[in-house]
Amino acid sequence: MRVLVTGGAGFIGSHYVRTMLTGGYPGYEDAEVTVFDKLTYAGNRANLAPVAGSPRLRFVQGDICLRADLDAAVPGHDLVVNFAAESHVDRSIHGASDFVLTNVLGAQQVFEAALRHGVRRVLHVSTDEVYGSIDEGSWTEDCLLEPNSPYSASKAGSDLVARAYAKTHGLDVSVTRCSNNYGPYHFPEKVIPLFVTNLLDGEPVPLYGEGANVRDWLFVDDHCRGIQLVVEKGLPGEYYNIGGGRELSNRELTGLLLAATGRDWSYVQPVPDPRGGGHDLRYSVDYGRTAALGYAPRVSFEEGLALTVQWYRDNRAWWEPLKAAAATAHRPAAQDPEA
């Protein structure tokens, strides 16, 4: 089995790669893995350091938008898992073109390359943000898509392109839609790693408005196990929600992060919402379809948060250079309540 993981040096993709190369997915213990990554600001080869010595790992730097790059990497693989994406909501508000280019055209190029080179199976990783916002209840996979940011709109577009390739070309591609991930190696612009690293350094944390936005939190290992189940059992052209089953408002989340780092509310700095309160208020996914494949979250939020905070305590050498580089580039990390 040969597996190509696009975006495999990012937060979630690298977790999937590390787990596969350390025998975490039964039946794939001998899989050869090619990581294909452009290494933008959020792609980091250090994320692969724990498995860098594996003889089953190969790294290729490339861009999913470029046919030549894909043609050099895709041939000979049995499975492609597409994690590659631009994923920060606030960044998409200030500049949407990169999101449309990578998330729509890039995904289409991956599907086209898979067809061209006879790849047997493709898994496309998406997000629950394609559904918009929900006041009560939970989204099923059949709910209307109502994305409210350029980021989520671009991901919705890629989901529909995946379906089109399944229906029109017979590509064996399934789509997963996850809720908010957290865990080790999470780039420190997203809310949990940003807050944790700031608080560990005794710095304030920015809380949008009243912190009323509600998100469902999913530990990265649970997410990747769900992805692998869909790889093995999912149907072509179908969508599969993957959730963590723990909804928290941003204010509740902030309270838990303060407690985990030994800080108090004096470290919280209210800031205006860049959308004037327009961030989606609540996300909630019904993951019954994925549960039917055997999925259930295993890591409680309390357990996952403790593991995550301890990882950031122990791995300053990983995150301090990333925050320093952002500051040097005059691109301070900004809270993204969507991820």
CA atoms within 13 A on the CB side of 250: 27
Catalytic residue among 128, 189, 221, 336: 128
The runs of H, that is alpha helices, within 124-241 are 150-169, 191-200, 220-233
Catalytic residue among 28, 151, 182, 312: 151
Query: How many angstroms separate the CA atoms of 175 and 154, rounded?
Result: 14
Query: How many angstroms separate the CA atoms of 2 and 208, rounded?
Result: 44
What b/e string do you get for 232-261 counting C-beta neighbours within 10 Å, with b at 16 or more?
bebebbbbbbbbbbbbbbbbebbbbbbebb
Q: How far lies 131's CA from each of 142, 175, 283, in Å?
A: 10, 14, 8
Is 128 marked active-site? yes
Query: How many angstroms separate the CA atoms of 216 and 194, rounded?
Result: 18
Catalytic residue among 129, 159, 221, 338: 129
Is 29 marked active-site? no
Q: What is the largest CA-CA distance in the chain?
A: 57
Question: Is the CB of residue 130 less than 8 Å from the CB of residue 177?
Answer: yes
Query: How many angstroms separate the CA atoms of 92 and 86, rounded?
Result: 8
Is 69 marked active-site? no
Among 229, 192, 154, 199, smallest CA distance to 336 is for 192
Question: Is the CB of residue 295 less than 8 Å from the CB of residue 225?
Answer: yes
Query: Which residues participate in catalysis according to the annotation?
Result: 128-129, 151
